[in-house]
Amino acid sequence: MPDAHDRYHKPRPPFGAWLLDQKKRTDAIGELARAAATDPGFPKEGDFQAVSARLNGVQADPEMHVALEDAELDWSCY
């Protein structure tokens, strides 16, 4: 049964979709989001693990992995 407070909270978007919405940021998360937006294989509906696996699959720079960890923290506070 849903909590009475659930009706006051909008559902959190999937991590991949949230990340793509961060393209206008001027930090490393924004840079990651802009790179993700150009990647046809980016898991738009994916979770953190799916995005991390994609970064590993395309051999992304270590800075992108750090940005991904920062993004997960921001998303979890969303």
On the question of pLDDT at 5 being above 70, the answer is no
pLDDT single digits (tens) 17-32 = 999 999 999 999 999 9
pLDDT recorded at residue 4? 53
CA dist 69 and 17 (Å) reads: 16
Q: How many residues does the chain have?
A: 78
This prediction has a pTM of 0.85
- Which of 11, 46, 76, 78 lies closest to 36 in space, CA to CA? 46
pLDDT band at 42 (very low <50, low <70, confident <90, very high): very high
Q: What is the pLDDT of residues 45-58, one digit of tens each?
A: 999 999 999 999 99
